[in-house]
Structure 1
Amino acid sequence: MSISSPKWGLGRSLLVLSPCLLAGFLVALREHYCAINPRTNLPQISEARILGYAKYLSEDIGYRTVGTHEHALADTWMVQQAEEARRNCERVVNQDKGRKLQCEVWRQEGSGTHRFDMMGEAALQELSKCVLLLSLPLTGRVFILSDLTNIVVRISDGTDAGKEHALLLNSHLDSTLPSPGAADDAISVGIMLDCIRVLVDTPAWSPAHAVIFLFNNAEESLQDASHLFSTQHPIAHTVRAVINLEAAGTTGRELLFQATSEEMVEAYSHVPRPFGTIFANDVFNSGVMLSDTDFRQFEEYLDVPGLDIAIVGNSYLYHMRKNFLVITRANRCFTQNMGENTLALIKYLTAPGSPIPKLANFERKKPHLVFYSLLSHFLMYRFSTAKLIYGALFLSALRLTRSVWSGQPRGILAVVTGLLGSILSANAVALIMQHGLGKGMSWFAGGHFAAIGLYAPATLLGGLASQLLLRTTDEKTVFSSVVILQAAAAVVVQLLNVGSAAMFFIASIPLFSSLLLNNLVFATRAGEVSLWAYVWGQSVQLMFGTLFLIPTLEVFVPLTGRLGNVPADNIVATLVSILGAQAMPLAIPFAHRFGRNSLRQMVIVLSAIALASMAIYARKEVFDEMHQKRLFVLHLENVTTNERHLHIASADGAPGFHELVTDISAQFSSPSVAEADPVPLIMNEYNADWDSLYPFSAFLSPYKIELSKDAHYTSPWTKSFRLVATNDVVDLAAGTRSFTLQVDHPGLIWTVISFDAHVLKWNLDNNPPAEYARHHVKEASFYKIDTWRLDLVVNGTGGILFNFIGMQENAMWPGKKAVKAQGGPAMQVLENLDAWLDEKTGGTVDAMLIGCVAGTVVV
């Protein structure tokens, strides 16, 4: 019996299809996870050097939180590395007198202010209403930077003309509060340093346009140092484009997730191993990612285009304690690959004929360019071209399917019903797991493949079961409807100028070609669909679909562990169902191939598989040692009330958090409240206890536990952490008051003040809210900078109540373990709590443990 015959049974057809589908899936995985590094006889990027730099920063120096001693050590080390690079440059030039090469080094130090509204306050407020159900402020927060630093290296040909237009490379030296930051961002620092070495040591290389390497020293305190460079450095005005190197994960390929001009996309097309899509670009720009980088400061204050590139794999350990080099070595070749891509960009953009000079008159607008990497190739074309080729494919699909037009509405209904059934079925499983069985996020510890394992059977089940609700439809009609709908979606979405329409176009190509081959080659009788059409169309589309599905889940599955109390199960279920249906579009016509009896059999088998999958996942633990729960713990000493509390918060909606807080309370709280059931608090702009973690604090679910008082303890912070008014002048006639608020905070970092007032004028910016409002001002400063000031003119002549809070520089566990005796009572409690958590949870919790000092004062 011929394979072209539709008389083959379900079992034999699946037996033929299975290895082909598996091959498509495996090809996609190999493409996603494998990197190839070319070799030449010229100086090469050295993985060993890059990892050596990252090891020194993350392990030898350690937690480089802005304002700490370790932060200052990293600054000193970076200056040494920059000066060494300059001396090597001079040595090379002295050896080759004809070499046009000059290396300059600056250590920038400065202060300033800037407003930071994550995603924009309006967008954040809207998101809180629609998704997070939180009450978030509309007022912006203003940040003060005090004597922060940048280390800058410029390489040029030494001429004024060569320095007139420059490319900026950026990475950051500091690490975030609970993390040593091997990937974020020590790897990028190492890559930039090694690029300097390779460029200088490459014979005859000389840049036609300068390249500026910015090692900024305060990104995690909300992009303070990149703002400092953009607004105050003397060579900032020469920057024409930026390449920002970041991390939102710990291993794997680096993803191009922002590209803001056609010229920069064209430049990226020349890297040896591209990995980026317009789909990722559209997702990030939509605000769904709830993330931001230094790229924002360069775009806003330098008004330049660029590329934002980040390591995104294994995001479970992003901003966590285990972000050490031992973890990043899991995929060693990707470090070198990122370095080679970066080097290729530098060489292209600094060469004669580079588009860099043309970008001096850059107009900020969304680039109308479709781009995506596919099977190691980088494709790009303009929106106008996309509309033409998508439209041509759609018209060709209509022409190809004209023989089945009479039944097309029923075929389209079958496909649409299948998609809706897939989404509903996957979300039904999510609701049952979360609310029925109390096993929400049971897929988290298993990673993105575990999410596929739970929701893929339900997705397929819903798609096929929905067909039982419809009248029997001709297989070829449904097959044709899939082709038409994919091509139509590409056209419609592209007409809306959304470049992600390419996802539908890419899917249309193997589907259209399989139907064309079916009609011309495969089919032996009119109206039949050969099994070869499924072999070709579905296996190729499964490969393409997997290349969209895997990186999307790689980002979003770990992200659900830090989005707050959101319906994580439904978010992931919806992603798996939509992208899974896109990867398996021919499952619906295949279901109509064998009649309703066979369809019922498939539904019964899939139901059993889905139930078995749910039973297996119901027994799984949500977190393990490599996929940990994030816990945020503040030991807060209130110098006004002389009370001490543990503030505990979670950033996920997984079950068991309340029970964990209850156990912590029973173990650590004062005897008077040890038996009481902890009550969750509301997180809003008046919960000043979490102000030091803004804006991430908006997504936390907090509790507050009272600690016992020590009658013999005398707080050292009562007199040292103080707010006083100087130059205080009251204008009774105008009904206003002007004064300078001086904040002294020796031994404390990341201090924040919050207050209610109608501010008429301040020294932060020119547009304080024109009304009585809640204000938050946050400070970030270099090590041992202990005072900052705020000039205010307010409507009213009375005193103002200020909330104030700061983090103890020597009370961060385990970052300050070496000097724990200097952390006082806070460090003792945090050390004991960490040991208790490790034993209680078996290492499945990663806790950010920080000692804070807070209080209130009327000024």
Structure 2
Amino acid sequence: MSTHSPTRWGPVKSLLCLAPLLVGVPLLAFRVNYALPEPVVDSVNSATGLPQLSEARVLAHAKYLSEDIGFRTVGTREHAAGDAWMVQQADDIRRQCEDVVRAHPTKKLECEVWHQQGSGAHRFDMMGHRLYKTYVDLTNIVVRISDGTPEGKQHAVLVNAHVDSTLPSPGAADDALSVGIMLECMRVLVNTPDWSPSHAIIFLFNNAEESLQDASHLFSTQHAIRDSVRAAVNLEAAGTTGREMLFQATSEEMIRAYSHAPRPFGTIVASEVFSSGIILSDTDFRQFQEYMNVTGLDIAVIGNSYLYHMRKDLVENIEPGVAQHMGENVLGLLLHLSSADSPLPRLTEGFTRPHTVFYQFLGLFIIYSFRTANIVYAALFAVSVVLARAVYVDPAPALRTKSMLGEHVKSAAAVATAVVGAIVGANVVAVLMTTGLGKGLSWFSSERICVLLYAPAALSGRCLVLSRCHTLLTDVLYAGALASQLLFGRLRERTTFVSVILSQSVMACAGQLLGIGSAGVLALTASPMVVAIALNAFLTKASDDISLWSYAIAIFTPLSVGAQMFYITLDVFVPLTGRMGEEAPAEHIIASIVAGIGAYMLPLLVPFVHRFGRRTIARATILCTMATAVTIAVFSMRSPFDQMHQKRVFVIHMENITTQEQHLHIAAADSAPGFPQLAQRIAEEWSVPGAVPMLMNMDAWNNDWDVMYPVSAVLTPYKFEMPLRPEHLDVIDHGFAVSATNDTIDRAAGTRSLTLVIRHPGIIWSTIAFDAHVVKWALDDNPPDEYARHHVKEASFYGHDAWTLSMVVKIPEHDADARIPVNFVGIHEKAMWPGKVAEKAHGGRAMQLFEEFDAWLERETAGTVDALLLGCIGGITTV
């Protein structure tokens, strides 16, 4: 029995009718998502005569830091040069402030500068590993702008960026761009005639984020004005291209404050995903939360592909308009937070988890409270229930309720299993690409090309489920004798359409009750579906198919919101897969993202295909399966990497001062094919004759990689013996040593007290690892109450070559003297390639090797590998 009009269009004609929306809406979302303002060059607006934020000036600051100074790894000479330059910039702002006050004596404005220097220690758990950090004489440059009164300084907002760069990077986007934005914000604020802050702004230029957030810990625990901070705004970098985005927001007040930015951009989905820890990333925001207990915002610029090629994190690769967008948003936010309308005074009692939903919809920043969400989502559910009854017509009134329930249960199950089918279908292809063909990460060289690989598989999975679900569900439900409706040969289009609304409204309500703000995107897409089905009553008769106009109205929102989620998610996750490690399910993560968001974008696929019957579904399944086979064949021939999307490889030249041995270690952090073959070629070219690469076990006792611990846990390392060239035969003597002082044993207490002294002249990021049952130490008040492996990492300012660790350990039964073997390793300050190219003559045998090795690697891989080359010194001693 057919419930369709005999004059209905077929699937091809219907799809062609909807094609402008299916194609045009994602393109519109793309344009909105990546829209950037025109860069401003002039520092003063020629029309108003007022200072304005200039992207040209921001980029000039970033260029000086990243290219004139260069690789600012904590502890290096360049790091010290960056610190000195920042002090000059802060002093210049103070002079500008004083000039403004002299010119306008009644103006309330004061700029204070601190060059903080200090030492400390903190625990830094990461990736499931326990780690301790200690630092010596690290610095911060702090500028406070206020009205000069005690009342004006009582409540402050902290805005932060880090001056240092990560190991293999000059750090233009990460994080010199943010430094330049903060400098420009200060210049504009100070020189704006009618601006006077009601509340203070503290600009923190911290000097050690990449060494695991040491300098932000220093400010948060030791600076004199830390207690005046009510909120923190952290500026960072992530992703590949696009605009700046709000990644974390920890209170409703700060989310609403962000809405005062001229172009706010962010979603609660991104915030909740980031906060969950799924994304392998962390920022200084963690220190401000943990040690100052303040709320705030974590804002990242997504405007540079530095995650692909760390060496090329240069100003020339930053997209025009990115700095302007982020800078104007930060300036607008600071103007609001420093005004009389600021929420800062209300945050004196701390903060609680935000009960606020916010998301981006075609350029609009929508924000509402959980209370509003509860009301709206409940109303949406009630309306969908009414619609469920309204669209159902049964010739047997006595069976109406039971039949309606059975039909909707069947339809809802079909909708749910279709989503599951999409995810399963995509992940089957992921298994085939990785385990079957050994072609993982074939999509890595383009952020969105993975859609071509996994979308057909997701569609074929959904269609296959739909073609089978009726028989299965009929058998199950007919056995329960629910209703005569189960005898129909296909699902009712109208009923299934409303079941989609019911399903999304139920999930929105359930998610909201569980405190999951991301459930709002389901309510967002269900609402126009309600409008569409209501309008359909005026467009069609009860016996007709649903009007294509109703489909057009209903799919606009999920297409636009889903497309935007696609762009943002893939921009962040695709480059991150290059550093997830061999064991991480990178392929399955991307496959699930494509399938899950694809199902969100096309929620009405189920009712739409059921308007044409099972034969059409079967044909669609065959077509999608054929398309999947073609894309698998095409992608299996692709190389994952190119010159702009490179494979991340880590290389360590290790000089062991205990054994006088030298080894080359090479590791990768992705599951892409080809690394074992590359390791073999390296062994043939650079190791001793006949050498076979040794695949090493990466665990807590593999101390050769301790300078990168615990990130080293995701690496797949090989080890090579180095040939002894004549210049390598000299005895290695770097002065690197670990000793014990203040060494006493208390037999009655069964403990040993000692102070480890680690001397590391010319060596940075020194790390020690040892096994002991620590009772007490200087790192924190809660060492593990057991015999355990401990890792302690150091970061110090340039020229500081020693640090200490005092502790009390239990004397083990097997060793009355409690002797402790200590592994130690660090990076030769002048042996990092390419960061220390200018000083290669002073980098020892490691730099001699790296210059040749890097050139060979460039030729061998055609520029598709980005290698971090570190010259390390290590050994073992017993204290």
What is the TM-score of this pair, normalised by structure 2? 0.92
Q: Retained in 2: the 8 A contact 1:249–1:318?
A: no
Distance 2:728 2:17 in 1: 77
Matching residue of 1:722: 737
Correspondent of 1:492 among 510, 531, 534? 510
Matching residue of 1:834: 854
The amino acid of 2:602's aligned partner reads M
The amino acid of 2:863's aligned partner reads G
The amino acid of 2:650's aligned partner reads F
Work out whether 1:659 is the aligned partner of 2:649.
no
Aligned 1:684-723 pairs, distance under 5 A: 684-710=699-725, 713=728, 717-718=732-733, 720-723=735-738
Work out whether 1:334 is the aligned partner of 2:322.
yes
What SS does the corresponding residue of 1:445 show, helix, strand or coil?
coil
Correspondent of 1:384 among 371, 377, 382? 371
Deviations 1:234-293 (A, max 9, x none): 111111111000112354211111111111011011111111111111101111112110
Q: Retained in 1: the 8 A contact 2:757–2:802?
A: yes
Deviations 1:493-515 (A, max 9, x none): 11111111012111112222211
Distance 2:302 2:388 in 1: 42
What SS does the corresponding residue of 2:462 show, helix, strand or coil?
helix
Deviations 1:740-777 (A, max 9, x none): 21111111000001111112222222222222111111
Distance 1:6 1:275 in 2: 46
Aligned 1:555-570 pairs, distance under 5 A: 555-565=572-582, 566-570=584-588
What SS does the corresponding residue of 1:72 show, helix, strand or coil?
helix
Q: Retained in 2: the 8 A contact 1:254–1:338?
A: yes
Aligned residue pairs total 831
Correspondent of 2:567 among 530, 536, 550? 550
Deviations 1:65-120 (A, max 9, x none): 000010011001100111011101111111111111011111111101111112xx
The amino acid of 1:855's aligned partner reads G
Matching residue of 1:845: 865
Matching residue of 1:775: 790
Correspondent of 1:535 among 540, 552, 558? 552
Seen in structure 2, the aligned counterparts of structure 1 residues 725 and 605 have a Cα distance that, compared at 3 Å, is: same
What SS does the corresponding residue of 1:249 show, helix, strand or coil?
coil
Deviation for aligned residue 1:435: 2.0
Distance 2:732 2:132 in 1: 25
Q: Retained in 2: the 8 A contact 1:183–1:249?
A: no
Deviation for aligned residue 1:539: 3.2
Correspondent of 1:807 among 789, 814, 827? 827
Matching residue of 2:431: 431
Matching residue of 2:480: none
What SS does the corresponding residue of 2:453 show, helix, strand or coil?
helix
Deviation for aligned residue 1:450: 0.5
Aligned 1:164-179 pairs, distance under 5 A: 164-179=154-169
Q: Retained in 2: the 8 A contact 1:45–1:195?
A: yes
Distance 1:568 1:793 in 2: 43
Seen in structure 2, the aligned counterparts of structure 1 residues 588 and 315 have a Cα distance that, compared at 3 Å, is: farther
Work out whether 1:457 is the aligned partner of 2:456.
yes
Work out whether 1:594 is the aligned partner of 2:609.
no
Seen in structure 2, the aligned counterparts of structure 1 residues 319 and 215 have a Cα distance that, compared at 3 Å, is: farther
Seen in structure 2, the aligned counterparts of structure 1 residues 825 and 455 have a Cα distance that, compared at 3 Å, is: same
Q: Retained in 1: the 8 A contact 2:308–2:647?
A: no
What SS does the corresponding residue of 2:745 show, helix, strand or coil?
strand
What SS does the corresponding residue of 2:281 show, helix, strand or coil?
coil
Work out whether 1:276 is the aligned partner of 2:275.
no
Matching residue of 2:483: none
Deviation for aligned residue 1:315: 4.8
Deviation for aligned residue 1:710: 4.0
Matching residue of 2:313: 323
Q: CA RMSD in A?
A: 1.8
What SS does the corresponding residue of 1:453 show, helix, strand or coil?
helix
Work out whether 1:584 is the aligned partner of 2:602.
yes
The amino acid of 2:618's aligned partner reads R
Deviation for aligned residue 1:525: 4.3
Deviations 1:498-537 (A, max 9, x none): 1110121111122222112112x32244453011111221
Q: Retained in 2: the 8 A contact 1:740–1:792?
A: yes
Work out whether 1:467 is the aligned partner of 2:469.
no
Distance 1:413 1:765 in 2: 53
Work out whether 1:46 is the aligned partner of 2:24.
no
Distance 1:835 1:332 in 2: 32
Seen in structure 2, the aligned counterparts of structure 1 residues 627 and 197 have a Cα distance that, compared at 3 Å, is: same
The amino acid of 1:203's aligned partner reads P
Distance 1:148 1:78 in 2: 14
Q: Retained in 1: the 8 A contact 2:170–2:311?
A: yes
Matching residue of 2:695: 680
Distance 1:177 1:72 in 2: 15
Structure 2, unaligned runs of 5 or more: 393-403, 471-489, 812-816
Seen in structure 2, the aligned counterparts of structure 1 residues 270 and 144 have a Cα distance that, compared at 3 Å, is: same
Matching residue of 1:633: 651
Distance 1:495 1:732 in 2: 59
Seen in structure 2, the aligned counterparts of structure 1 residues 4 and 311 have a Cα distance that, compared at 3 Å, is: farther
Matching residue of 2:400: none
Deviation for aligned residue 1:719: 5.6
Seen in structure 2, the aligned counterparts of structure 1 residues 58 and 410 have a Cα distance that, compared at 3 Å, is: same
Work out whether 1:55 is the aligned partner of 2:43.
no
Matching residue of 1:478: 496
What SS does the corresponding residue of 1:321 show, helix, strand or coil?
helix
Deviation for aligned residue 1:384: 2.1
Correspondent of 2:340 among 333, 344, 352? 352
Distance 2:439 2:623 in 1: 24
Correspondent of 2:592 among 574, 591, 595? 574
Q: Retained in 1: the 8 A contact 2:545–2:611?
A: no
Deviation for aligned residue 1:716: 6.8
What SS does the corresponding residue of 2:648 show, helix, strand or coil?
strand
Work out whether 1:199 is the aligned partner of 2:189.
yes
Distance 1:642 1:246 in 2: 42
Distance 2:551 2:5 in 1: 11
The amino acid of 2:852's aligned partner reads N
Matching residue of 1:789: 804
Deviation for aligned residue 1:226: 0.3
Percent identity over the alignment is 53
Q: Retained in 2: the 8 A contact 1:313–1:555?
A: no
Matching residue of 1:108: 116
Deviation for aligned residue 1:433: 1.6
Aligned 1:129-140 pairs, distance under 5 A: 137=129, 140=130
Of 264-273 and 408-417, more deviation after overlay is shown by 408-417
Distance 1:768 1:717 in 2: 35
Correspondent of 2:350 among 333, 345, 362? 362
Of 759-768 and 221-230, more deviation after overlay is shown by 759-768
Distance 1:856 1:848 in 2: 25
Structure 1, unaligned runs of 5 or more: 119-123, 126-136
Deviation for aligned residue 1:6: 6.0
Deviation for aligned residue 1:844: 0.5
Distance 2:292 2:617 in 1: 60
Seen in structure 2, the aligned counterparts of structure 1 residues 767 and 598 have a Cα distance that, compared at 3 Å, is: closer
Correspondent of 2:381 among 394, 405, 410? 394
Q: Retained in 2: the 8 A contact 1:627–1:844?
A: yes
What SS does the corresponding residue of 2:818 show, helix, strand or coil?
coil
Q: Retained in 2: the 8 A contact 1:523–1:529?
A: yes
Deviations 1:533-580 (A, max 9, x none): 112212332112111222111111111111001222111111110110
Correspondent of 1:745 among 760, 772, 781? 760
Deviation for aligned residue 1:412: 1.3
Distance 2:724 2:342 in 1: 66
Deviation for aligned residue 1:799: 2.1
Distance 1:795 1:415 in 2: 61
Distance 1:625 1:353 in 2: 49
Distance 1:787 1:179 in 2: 26
The amino acid of 1:738's aligned partner reads S
